[in-house]
Structure formats: C-alpha cells, structure tokens
Amino acid sequence: MRFRFRHRRIGRPNPKGNRRIPASSGEEASSVAADHSSTSPSSCPARSCSTSALMESSHPSPSPPSEQPRLTVTQIEQLRVEAKVFEIYRVLNGVDPPTMSLMLELWRDKHIEFLTKGLGNLGPSYNVLDANRPWLCYWIMHSIALLGESLDLELEENVVEFLFRCQITANLVPNMSESDAVAISQDKNGGYGGGPGQMPHLATTYAAVNTLITLGSEKALLSIDRENLHKFFLRMKDSSGAFRMHDGGEIDVRACYTAISVASILNILDDELVKGLGNYILSCQTYEGGIAGEPSSEAHGGYTFCGLATMILINEADRLDLPSLIDWVAFRQGVECGFQGRANKLVDGCYSFWQGGSLALAQRLLPIVRQQLQLSLIGVQPSVECKTNNGFTAEEAGLDNGKLCKDEAHSKIVVFSIKLYTILPVFAFPYTIALSVALQQYILLCSQVLEGGFKDKPGKHRDFYHSCYCLSGLSLSQHSWSGDAGAAPLPGAVLGPYTNLLEPVHPLFNVVLDKYYKSHEFFSAL
C-alpha cells in the first residue's frame, strides 16, 4: 500500500506555480524546489487538505515579480525534507510485490543488535547523556520488549542493580553492602537520579520505573521503593497543583505526567498528589487545542500527550476541550505521512508516538467528545457534579457502578488508573485506517535504518530515543484496529509482511501491555 499526498502552502498563493528561492540559497535550494514540483501527489491528509483553489480564486492579482515574497529558511528546509521523502516514496512506486514487501520489512535482527550494544559500551558522543542514563535503559529495554525479545538473566540483574544505585542520592562508599545502601536511601526521600549519586529527578524516575516494569522480574519490581517515591512526589508538588522536575527545578506538564504516571502504575496515587493538578493542566491548553508545557506557551505534541494522559489518570479529561485537541493533533500529520511536533515545524519520527498516542487516548473519550460537540451548539456547559468514567466501563475503571461522583473521584482514581486497558481503534476518529497505515509507511521507509535503529527523518542519524518512540508509534498504529487486547490486528492494518507486527503497548504509560498486566497484579497485592 502506497500513499502520496497533495500538499498546500500557507501564505500568498502563486497562480503560476513558481517558487522563488533566495539568491543566497544557491542551486541546492533551486534543485529542491524543482524536485518538489515534479511530484505527482494524489490525496491529502488533515494538515495538507487543499484549499489553494479557493485561495487563488479569491486573492487579488499577484504583485510584480520584484515584489513577490521570498521563501523563509523554514520553508526551504520543509521543501528539502519533502524532496527526500518523496524520492523514497517514488522508488516504492511501481515495484513488484516481492520487492515492495522487502522494502517494507522491519529489520528485527539489526535493531536487536543495535539496541543490545547500547547496554554495553557507548561512544564518546553519549557523554552529554551522563545525567540521562536511566533514559538510555528505558529506550533500549522498551524497544527490545516491543520487538518481542528479552535480555539474558545476568544482563537484567545488572540493569536492576544499576537503577537501584540511581535511587540512592548519597555518595556511595566503594563496596557498600546493599543493606547499607537501602538504609541511606530510606533517609533521603528521593526518586531516581540520572546516575548513581545524582539528584533525584521526575523524568529519570519515570524512565527507571518503566524500565523495571519492562524487566518484570520479582527482583526488579521489589527494588522500587514506593514509600520513598511517594514522599519524593509530595516534595515536588507545587502550590499551583503542578509538579516541579527536581528540587528548585522547572514546573511544567511533563513533570505532572511523569509524577502521576509513576504514582498510578505503582498504585500510590492519592488525593494529595491530585489536588489542584487538573486546574494547572487546563490552564496549559491553548487556543489551538493542543497543550503547552506551561501556561501561555505554544502547543506541543509531547506536552499534549502528557497533559491528556495526566487528565485521564486523574479522571478529569472531560474538562479539556477535546474536539479542539483532537483537531490540533490530527492536523499535525502532513504530506510526509509522519507527524510534526508543532505547527509549521518539520516532521519527526518520535511524534509517531507522542501525537499518535494522543489519538489513541482520545479514542476512549469519544462519548465525551460527542457530548461536548452537542453542548457547544446550544451553549450549555456539561455538569461536573457526577460524571462518567472518561469512556471506560465500570469494570475497566474498577468501580461498583458506571458513575464516579465528584467527592469520590480521587479516593477511587488509583483503581481506575491501573485497571486492565483494552486496546480500541486509535485512528477511528477522525482518522481512517489508510492514514494509520500511512504513518507506518513513514516509519518503515523514512525513519528505519537498515543497519539497525531509527532516526528522526531522512538525512539524520539513528539514536536510541527515536528507536524507542518510532517503534512505540509503529505498535500503536498496527494495533489501532484491534477490537480488544487479545485480538490480532487485521492483516490490512499491518503495513508490509505480517512479521512486522510488534507487541502492543499501553498508551497511557508506554510499556508493553503484558508487562503492565504483570505489574498491575503485583502492586495490587501489596
């Protein structure tokens, strides 16, 4: 299946179809424009819906050539990316089925080789990530789990031991016993730092806990000091209702998500952590519909996912303007078939999860979306006195009935948030299965590196971050039309050979679904 999209440009239309490139951009930019104009797209996604005919018919006659606007640097970069992507898609066009299947294959063995090497020695270029070592563990371990593989026992134990040392904020004495280390940890009320001896941080805490849940062994799960983490989260709680990333650190939606996600999956979410949080997230939703990192900032794909997931976990998603949010996310998929993170930015493979994940979550909220649309037509605000469970059934929410009243919301939310999650269609609204598969096309052809790993876009280098989130987005789009967690996706929902199918992920936490089930059972028994 191949996708070729019609595109449009924002700004003054040019009826003659000529694009002026600044003289300083040279022949390279001119060549890009020529390549771009030679493309023959045949359909369009949300962000590229064609209104050019209407604009041209209503716009006054163009100014003389000397007054025509030049393309900006951003527009030129966009043309360059489109040219590279369209060239890749042109190669796919017209090839025989066996060749097409080979081109669309997920190179599992190469990816496993690339990922496992990262758990050993890393090159000097990774020095800048010294304070992000739990993230490296998560990106690699989660990617391996998505591919259906696991580590040998010795390597797993090494990872558990390393992350345990990251939760100790005191300087470690060489050859310190594990019991002494635990005693130090109990006195520090800390989360996980970016490495042994580093200050605790919400982001690396999220990465460390998700890594341990992905490993799934009893030793890994028992190594998580839940009581200490709860104290750390309370310390990071701000009077605004939001969270700060670390002591004296920034306050933003990312901090809110990482704290609430970890608290929810560990079954320690309570009233104190939730208080005032919904108001803060709501203040970050912009006029565009997306969610910004903080009030009065620009809507962003990563923060939109974090904000929406947080509001679902605290059972306040119905307070958001969901139709506008869905509209904003849907319009971030462009002519390249992948997602951009913000308006007028370049496509990036990592947003396959951040934007695709928001649509996965929004799918469960369609009853609320429809109600908001209906009420907006008559100017009536929905009641918040007693509300339904954000699209979840009573059984899924862990409640005795189908209602969660205002005064009961926070006392029961911990049960709601860790109940088994049923995979439902991701792109059923407003997407079609065709655009879901189009995203897979971008990931497999434009982000996948044949030597192993994934990259941002053509022309970039592979890395573990993009490998993790490209695979996560690929899994979401493959399973987007599964009726439930136990059902295999339809063959037409998986681009390329069916062996490309990845393990399903829980879209709220981005951990493999069966790993989530195991941790849910484990922490519910404590």
Q: Which residues are catalytic?
A: 300, 342, 345, 348, 350-351, 456, 463, 466
- Are the C-beta atoms of 259 and 273 separated by less than 8 Å? yes
The token duo for 225 is 């000091």
Query: 103, exposed or middle or buried, with CB in 10 Å at 0-12, 13-18, 19+?
Result: middle
Torsion of CA 480, 485, 490, 495, to 10 degrees: 50
Give the residues across from 109 on adjacent strands.
none
> CA geometry: angle at 306 spanning 303 and 308, to 5°?
105
DSSP 479: T
CA separation for the pair 292, 303 (Å, rounded) = 6
Query: In Å, what is the CA distance from 339 to each residue of 161, 231, 350, 459?
Result: 37, 38, 8, 17
CA separation for the pair 495, 478 (Å, rounded) = 8
SS3 291: strand
Peptide bond between residue 430 and the one before it cis (omega within 30 degrees of 0)? yes
Which residues have CB under 8 Å from 225's CB, separation 6+?
Answer: 167, 185, 186
Q: Positive or negative CA dihedral for 249, 252, 254, 255?
A: positive
- Are the C-beta atoms of 253 and 279 separated by less than 8 Å? no
Cα end-to-end span (Å), the chain: 48
Map tokens 């399903």 to a residue.
504
CA separation for the pair 32, 26 (Å, rounded) = 11
